[in-house]
Structure 1
Amino acid sequence: MAARGPLPVDPIAEAKRQWLAHGWDEAAPGMSVVTSIIRAQQLLLARIDAALKPFRLSFARYEMLRLLGFTREGRMPMASAIARLQVHPTSVTNTVDRLVRDGLIEREPHPADGRAAMLVLTASGRELVDRATDALNSDVFAAPGLSEQDTADLVRIIARFRKSSGDFTEPRPLPDPL
């Protein structure tokens, strides 16, 4: 796909104008927010893909490696990875298969459940995910394209939306130590 410059008009603003012109006044703001979020996701994913390309990682493969890298021993049950990544089990299985094939993680039998598998980060997987994280931090996360205040506001707004959509609940307070 050939690179192109900015469009001369905001297509989402034009779509909203059309929604209003067609009498869909109640739906126009919602259409604008949904399509704006989807477009922002596309823009951010393009930046992520560019940062991860030198490492031959997709974002899904990176997330799995980073998740394992965050654990104390670089290992976790596959079922836990599926729950934390919030994607379909088949997608996780395909991602794991590729990472195993590339020698970045290993599958081991679960110590207590013979039907389950443990995912284990290899030394080369840890080295790769650490380098990829450095690239994402410098090329994407450190400067997401918003001011610090806009970033904080947007995270709060989206968190409220996610929570009201049933994506997560507030953690229960932990008891005071004895």
Structure 2
Amino acid sequence: MTSGAPLDPIAEARRQWLRRWPEHAEHMAAITSVMRVQQILLGEVERALKPYGLTFASYEALVLLHFSRAGRLPLGKMGERLMVHPTSVTNTIDRLQAAGLVRRVADPADRRRVLAEISERGHEVAAAATEVLNAIDFGLGALAEPDAVTLSGLLRRIRRAAGDFGPEVADPWTSTAH
């Protein structure tokens, strides 16, 4: 992508939409902006994680295990928490296992169930990768903290409407405990 392009393609699309469907122009511009920013952020985060052999998806799975009390979780629970299909979790754990960052173990409470367990090396990589992502503010360095809070709150409304969680779930961005 050319840096400093003489035209903002999303603003131009919005201008065209305003002429044809003015009642939908701002929503079209918003979704197009969100999708473009997702591409930008994913690219920046993936570049930061590349030295660790991680993608953002594998980083999320590794950190989930890193933060878990016992360092292990059932794959099904990981899928729920990561909001991904079970096949995606299986593939991610396969890659992390091949890299020596996790291992599969039988659940001591139910030997039919498989758990992913983080290795010592996995803990080290999770910690180092997190330091790098924190250093670049997860790609959101252009936003001040209050703007990041506002953005999270706005996106949360869309996630709630999509059923990511119920209306009874407290909003951590509006409480004083963040």
What is the SS of the residue equivalent to 1:26?
Answer: helix
Deviation at 1:20, TM superposition (A): 2.0
Q: Are positions 1:92 and 2:86 aligned together?
A: no
Give the direction of change, closer, same or farther, for the CA distance of 1:59–1:156 in structure 2 (3 Å limit).
same
Q: 1:76–1:119: 8 Å Cα contact kept in structure 2? A: yes
Residue among 28, 32, 50 paired with 1:31:
28
Q: Are positions 1:107 and 2:104 aligned together?
A: yes
Deviation at 1:19, TM superposition (A): 1.4
Q: Are positions 1:123 and 2:155 aligned together?
A: no
Larger Rg: 1
Q: Distance in 2 between matches of 1:132 and 1:151?
A: 21
Where does structure 1 lack aligned partners over 5 or more consecutive residues? 173-178
Where does structure 2 lack aligned partners over 5 or more consecutive residues? 171-178
Q: Distance in 2 between matches of 1:78 and 1:12?
A: 39
Q: Distance in 1 between matches of 2:52 and 2:140?
A: 21
Q: Are positions 1:171 and 2:156 aligned together?
A: no
Q: Are positions 1:146 and 2:143 aligned together?
A: yes
Q: What percentage of residue pairs aligned between the two structures are identical?
A: 46
My pick for the range that moved more, 161-170 or 70-79, is 161-170
What RMSD over aligned residues (CA atoms) do the two structures have, in Å?
A: 1.7
Q: 1:47–1:140: 8 Å Cα contact kept in structure 2? A: no
**Given the two structures, how large is their TM-score scaled by the length of structure 1?**
0.88
Q: Distance in 2 between matches of 1:75 and 1:148?
A: 32
Deviation at 1:143, TM superposition (A): 5.2
What is the SS of the residue equivalent to 1:144?
Answer: coil
Q: Deviations over 1:87-110 (max 9, x none)?
A: 111111111111111111010112
Deviation at 1:165, TM superposition (A): 2.1
Task: For 1:51, give the aligned amino acid.
Answer: A
Q: Distance in 1 between matches of 2:79 and 2:112?
A: 15
Q: Distance in 1 between matches of 2:71 and 2:86?
A: 20
Q: 1:78–1:118: 8 Å Cα contact kept in structure 2? A: yes
What is the SS of the residue equivalent to 2:103?
Answer: strand
Q: What is residue 10 of structure 1 aligned with on the other side?
A: 8
Work out the number of aligned pairs and report it: 169
My pick for the range that moved more, 159-168 or 124-133, is 159-168
Give the direction of change, closer, same or farther, for the CA distance of 1:157–1:143 in structure 2 (3 Å limit).
closer
Deviation at 1:159, TM superposition (A): 1.1
Task: For 2:17, give the aligned amino acid.
Answer: W
